[in-house]
Structure 1
Amino acid sequence: MALIQTSLIWVAYAVAVVLLLIIATVFVFIYQTPRDRAVSVTTVCIFTMSALLATVLLMPVDIALVSSTSNSAEGRKKDWATPNEIDSIIKTLKIVYYTLYSLDALLCLLVVPFTYFYYEEYDEEATEVGDQTLGTRLWGAFKYTIAFIILVVAIFLIGFFVPYAKQAKNDGRLDLDYFQRLLLQNRGERALSFALGLLMTLGTIIYVLYTGAGLALLPVALIKSAPTVSAPTLAANTASQLEENRERQRQLDGRNEGRENGLESRDRRELEALIREERTLIRRERLAAESSGEDRHWLIKAWIKVEAVFRPLKLIGGLLLLLLALFVFVSMFITAVDKAKNSICGAHCGYILGYLNIFQPINYIFVKSSKVFPIDYILFLLLVLFLFSASVVGIATVGIRFLWITVFKIRKGHTSPQALLMATVMLTLITLAINYSVAMLVAPQYATFGHQTFCDRAPRHPGEQPDCTHNHKAIRPCTEMSKNAVAKDVCTPSVLSTFINGVTIDFPFFGLIMFWAQFAFLGVYLVVFVATLFKTPKMDEDQLDADLEEDEEEGLLASTGKRFGATWQDITGHARTPNYGAAETNGERA
């Protein structure tokens, strides 16, 4: 029975990884520019994003496996859950965690930079004349990557030799079995803990700025962005208007022939208005072509069709995501305040909370749903994808910046390979920060013990487990502060919570920054959310591309009216025949 249950949990994880691979592939093909597509960049981006999402989604597997050893209804370990069996489960999880975390670090610090420089080394003219070969490109990329190799070695050496946090080790408040286990890491584990703690801290800074903004922008953007004009209809209307515009310009130019003083002031003003309108129509025509997926990759065309099918549901989906975002905000705020006020050791251990003192809704839902796997896994997958999508929206809106200078812009179908690689690194760091935020603030009890419980009664005979079959009131949820001797044998913390709490205890500086940054995250979300209530969000505020600026300013695609007719036109690709009133003149439209 135990083998079957464990196998089903790992099978569910494998299915989720395949799903993540598909999501990462769609994301890369949607955002990269078709003109400058490179196989190396595409492959590395897809693999990196799949690896980082697989790392986060290992958490519910971890929780399900350690929780499966406990009979929560009776508050005791199951008969098959011997110490050797539990050690085997934890060892397997540690191997998978360390493999994925090490892979994420190497991809972020070595593979992606190498791919970036490898792409930059390409010279079409030198390749054609034979001055550049594969070997010269690899060597050129490797030379620039040496600095990153030195950085990786330095980080692991610092983590290997840095002394223990003596203040935490000698803190009497941590004199519990759970916390003592956190201080027993070997130097190899601590080196990896230091490296990942550093990356999590860097990722938290990016997470605050981009995910905080994206969490507010994503639902509001869906609510406010249901267009009323389909791409085929827009293209047909624009072509007709453009033809009439140019015909009117030819008529005015014909009037000007033979006149010494040129056009009359009235005709000159009309011609200037027609020229401005022509520029707008040309931009609109290009926008309509891009929106319909002309001359684009088949995957982008398919994505456009899918978007058209679900477009009428954007308003409902946006409202649901808005409620979810507010739900996450409230849950994080409750836990953050609880930790700041009731942490057993404060800044010395990264504000570890012994147990929740205030009811926390998301944590409650996850704990209850974890009793029936894979319900909690599905909910967790949706939560992670929501936060990941919010991060993408944040990066696309703000752009990749250095201080106030925009370095790269992230746009659907227009993202350069260099920008895509940098966005991948940012998403890797953000995902590590999401791992901390979900485990420590969004659902802390769920992430540590799942639905495990223990029987708070003394056993009748030495060596026996206590019996709470007829006294369910004595069954207590497992917490870090459980001092009962029975809890020590029954409660098995998840590997992830042990790892993260070990980082914050061994390196309190990281825990201090990551904890207080959560308040900054909530502040950024609140400010952006209030701002978006009064202003329609723009994807990339500093977008210099005139066609999208014109589209946003004129509100061509900013209405939330009924979309069923236009949706069908987007799906079929057929336009509605333009029909303009006879009384409408070119001058009036101008």
Structure 2
Amino acid sequence: MALIQTSLIWVAYAVAVAILLVIAATFVFLYQAPRDRAASVTAVCIFTTSALLATVLLMPVDIALTSSTSLSSLGRKKDWATPNRVNGIVKTLEIVYYTLYSLDAILCLLVVPFTYFWYEEYDEDAAEHGEQTFGQRFWGAFKYTIAFVVFVVIIFLVGFFVPFAKQAKGDDRLDLDFFKHLLSENHGERALSFGLGLLMLVGTVIFALYTGAGMALLPVAMIKSAPSVSSPTLAANTASQLEANRERQRQLEGRNEGRDGGLDSRDRRELESLVREERTLIRRERLAAESSGEDRHWIIKTWIKIEAVFRPLKLVGGFLLIILALLIFSSMLITGIDKAKNSICKAHCGYILAHINIFQPINWILVKSSKVFPIDYVLFLLLVLFFFSASVVGIATVGIRFLWLTVFKIRKGHTSPQALLMATVMLNLIVLAMNYSIAMVVAPQYATFGPQTFCDHTPRHPHEQPDCTHDHASIKPCSELSKNPASKDVCTPSVLSTFINRVTINFPFFGVVLFWAQFAFLGIYLVVFLTTLFKTPKLDQEQVDRDLEEEEEEGLLASTGRRFNATWQDITGKSKRNYGTTETNGERS
């Protein structure tokens, strides 16, 4: 029975990874520019995105496997869950975690930079004339990657030789088996903990800036995704307006042919205005062609059709995502305040909280659903995809910046290979930060012990199972700070929570910054969310200004009828021509 349950859990994980592979491929093909597509860049981006999503989705598998060893209703271990069997499960999970974390670090710090320089080193003219060999291109990319190799070695050496946190080691409040286990580690584990803790720290800064903004913008982006005019109608109306514009220009030029002074001042102003309008209409025509999927990859065209079919649901989904975002915001705020106020060791151990003292909705939902696998797995998958999508929207909206300078822009169908690789690295670091945020703030009890409980009753004999039918006994949820010896034998913390707590307790600086950065994340979300209540954000504003010059300021619920008409026309590919009336971008003329 135990083998069947364990196999089902791993099968569910394999299915989720397969789904993630499709999502990663869709993300890459959707954003990359068709003309600049490179097979090496595409493959690396898809594989890296899949690997980092597989890492964060290992958490519910971890929780399900460690929780499967106990009978939560009776507060004791199952008969088959001997110490050796439990240790075997934990060791297997540790191997998978270390493999995935190491793979993520190698991809982020070595493979992606090498692919970036490999693409940069390609010289089309030299390759056509045989002047650039594979070896020359390889060495050109590798010599720039050496700096990253040196950086990885330095991180490992610093983590290997850095001393233990003396403050944490001498703190009497940490004199529990749970904390002793975290402090007693070898140099190799400490080096890996330091390296990933550093990457997690960098990722948390990006997580707060981009995911915080994206979590507020994603629901609004879904609601605003249905245009007020369909692509076929926009193309038809724009072509008609462009034809009328050029005809008027020909009339003005013909009227003034042979005149010595040329155009008079009034006609000159009108002609200049028509020329500016012509440029705008040409840009609008190009935008309509791109929106309809003309001259695009078949995957993009299919995606555009699917988006049009599901547009009515996206309006409802947008409002549901607003509710979900507010639920996550309140859960993180509750946990943050609870940890800051009630953690017995505060900064010394990364604000570890024994148990949640205030009702926390996300944690409660996941703990209750975890009693029946895979309900919690499905909910957790949706939570991860929401954070991931919010990160993508945040990066696409803000762009890849250095201070106030925009380095790269992330746009659907127009993202260069270099920008796509840098966005992949940023998403990699964000996922590492997401691991901390979900495990320690969004759902700390679920991520540490799941539904595990223990019987608060000490048996008379050492080998006797605790009996919760005793009058003075009760079943309590497992906790990091429980002093009852029975909890040590029954409660098995998840491997991920153990690893994160090991990072924060051995390197308190990481723990302090990671914890307080969650409040920065909440602050950025709140500012952007409140802004969207009064002004609809213009995603990728600079590009919109170039394409349409005058962006329509429209409320979330405005022009609902036109939006559904536009959806139907985008699905069928036919425009509705209103004779005598031209409707473009919500304006009637």
Question: For the superposition of Structure 1 and Structure 2, which TM-score range results when normalised by the shorter chain?
Answer: over 0.9
1:259 paired to 2:253: no
Q: Residue 281 of structure 1 aligns with which residue?
A: 281
Q: Residue 80 of structure 2 aligns with which residue?
A: 80
What percent identity do the matched residue pairs reach?
77
Separation of aligned partners in 2, 1:419 and 1:555: 31
The amino acid across from 1:506 in the alignment is N
- Show the 5 A alignment for 1:295-444: 295-444=295-444
Q: Residue 7 of structure 1 aligns with which residue?
A: 7
Deviation at residue 542 of structure 1 after TM alignment: 4.0
Q: Residue 89 of structure 2 aligns with which residue?
A: 89
Q: Residue 479 of structure 2 aligns with which residue?
A: 479
The amino acid across from 1:287 in the alignment is L
Q: Residue 492 of structure 2 aligns with which residue?
A: 492
| Superimposed CA distance per residue, residues 289-336 of structure 1 (whole angstroms, 9 cap, x where no aligned partner) | 000011111111111111111112222111111111111111001111
- Show the 5 A alignment for 1:8-23: 8-23=8-23
Q: Residue 224 of structure 1 aligns with which residue?
A: 224
Most deviating of 110-119 and 559-568: 559-568
SS at match of 1:454: strand
Q: Residue 571 of structure 1 aligns with which residue?
A: 571
Q: Work out whether residues 467 and 473 of structure 2, in 8 Å CA contact, stay in contact via their aligned partners in 1.
A: no
Deviation at residue 183 of structure 1 after TM alignment: 1.1
Deviation at residue 471 of structure 1 after TM alignment: 6.4
Deviation at residue 270 of structure 1 after TM alignment: 3.1
Deviation at residue 125 of structure 1 after TM alignment: 1.2
SS at match of 1:372: coil
Most deviating of 89-98 and 345-354: 345-354
Distance 1:407 1:183, change over 3 A: same
Separation of aligned partners in 1, 2:215 and 2:413: 23
| Superimposed CA distance per residue, residues 501-559 of structure 1 (whole angstroms, 9 cap, x where no aligned partner) | 00001111111110111111111111111111111112234448611x52625779995
Deviation at residue 194 of structure 1 after TM alignment: 0.6
Deviation at residue 237 of structure 1 after TM alignment: 1.2
Q: Work out whether residues 551 and 557 of structure 1, in 8 Å CA contact, stay in contact via their aligned partners in 2.
A: no
CA-based RMSD: 2.0
Distance 1:560 1:486, change over 3 A: farther
1:197 paired to 2:197: yes
Q: Residue 522 of structure 2 aligns with which residue?
A: 522
| Superimposed CA distance per residue, residues 31-74 of structure 1 (whole angstroms, 9 cap, x where no aligned partner) | 00011100000000000000000000000000000000010011
Separation of aligned partners in 2, 1:223 and 1:569: 18
Separation of aligned partners in 2, 1:44 and 1:425: 11
- Show the 5 A alignment for 1:159-174: 159-174=159-174
SS at match of 1:35: helix
Q: Residue 510 of structure 1 aligns with which residue?
A: 510
Separation of aligned partners in 2, 1:193 and 1:69: 27
SS at match of 1:334: helix
Deviation at residue 274 of structure 1 after TM alignment: 2.1
Q: Residue 292 of structure 2 aligns with which residue?
A: 292
The amino acid across from 2:272 in the alignment is E
Deviation at residue 464 of structure 1 after TM alignment: 1.2
Deviation at residue 170 of structure 1 after TM alignment: 1.6
Separation of aligned partners in 2, 1:561 and 1:406: 35
Separation of aligned partners in 2, 1:49 and 1:495: 22
Separation of aligned partners in 2, 1:181 and 1:554: 58
Distance 1:470 1:246, change over 3 A: farther
Q: Work out whether residues 225 and 560 of structure 1, in 8 Å CA contact, stay in contact via their aligned partners in 2.
A: no
Deviation at residue 169 of structure 1 after TM alignment: 1.4
Separation of aligned partners in 2, 1:79 and 1:356: 30
Q: Residue 560 of structure 2 aligns with which residue?
A: 561
Deviation at residue 572 of structure 1 after TM alignment: 2.2
Q: Residue 531 of structure 2 aligns with which residue?
A: 531
Q: Work out whether residues 224 and 558 of structure 1, in 8 Å CA contact, stay in contact via their aligned partners in 2.
A: no
Distance 1:166 1:560, change over 3 A: farther
Distance 1:30 1:545, change over 3 A: farther
The amino acid across from 1:73 in the alignment is S
Deviation at residue 565 of structure 1 after TM alignment: 2.5
Separation of aligned partners in 1, 2:338 and 2:382: 26
Most deviating of 34-43 and 458-467: 458-467
Which runs of 5 or more structure 2 residues have no equivalent in the other structure? none
The amino acid across from 1:552 in the alignment is E
Q: Work out whether residues 74 and 472 of structure 1, in 8 Å CA contact, stay in contact via their aligned partners in 2.
A: no
The amino acid across from 1:499 in the alignment is F
Q: Residue 550 of structure 1 aligns with which residue?
A: 549
Separation of aligned partners in 2, 1:470 and 1:239: 83
Deviation at residue 187 of structure 1 after TM alignment: 1.2
What is the TM-score of this pair, normalised by structure 1?
A: 0.96
| Superimposed CA distance per residue, residues 128-160 of structure 1 (whole angstroms, 9 cap, x where no aligned partner) | 221101111111100011111111111111111
Separation of aligned partners in 1, 2:2 and 2:459: 25
Most deviating of 253-262 and 5-14: 253-262
Separation of aligned partners in 1, 2:470 and 2:361: 29
Q: Work out whether residues 457 and 473 of structure 2, in 8 Å CA contact, stay in contact via their aligned partners in 1.
A: no
Separation of aligned partners in 2, 1:169 and 1:564: 63
SS at match of 2:36: coil
Distance 1:379 1:317, change over 3 A: same
Deviation at residue 581 of structure 1 after TM alignment: 4.5
Most deviating of 223-232 and 42-51: 223-232
SS at match of 2:80: coil
Q: Residue 126 of structure 2 aligns with which residue?
A: 126
Separation of aligned partners in 2, 1:515 and 1:63: 22
Most deviating of 465-474 and 126-135: 465-474
Separation of aligned partners in 1, 2:543 and 2:282: 18
Most deviating of 407-416 and 262-271: 262-271
Q: Residue 102 of structure 1 aligns with which residue?
A: 102
SS at match of 1:294: coil
Separation of aligned partners in 1, 2:556 and 2:251: 32
| Superimposed CA distance per residue, residues 79-121 of structure 1 (whole angstroms, 9 cap, x where no aligned partner) | 1111011001000000000000000000000000000000000
Separation of aligned partners in 1, 2:555 and 2:37: 30
SS at match of 1:221: helix
The amino acid across from 1:513 in the alignment is V
Which runs of 5 or more structure 1 residues have no equivalent in the other structure? none
Separation of aligned partners in 1, 2:393 and 2:156: 33
The amino acid across from 2:549 in the alignment is E
Separation of aligned partners in 1, 2:114 and 2:472: 58
Q: Residue 445 of structure 1 aligns with which residue?
A: 445
SS at match of 2:549: helix
The amino acid across from 1:96 in the alignment is V
Most deviating of 489-498 and 572-581: 572-581
Distance 1:554 1:251, change over 3 A: farther
Distance 1:189 1:445, change over 3 A: same
Most deviating of 535-544 and 240-249: 535-544
The amino acid across from 1:514 in the alignment is L
Q: Work out whether residues 225 and 311 of structure 2, in 8 Å CA contact, stay in contact via their aligned partners in 1.
A: no
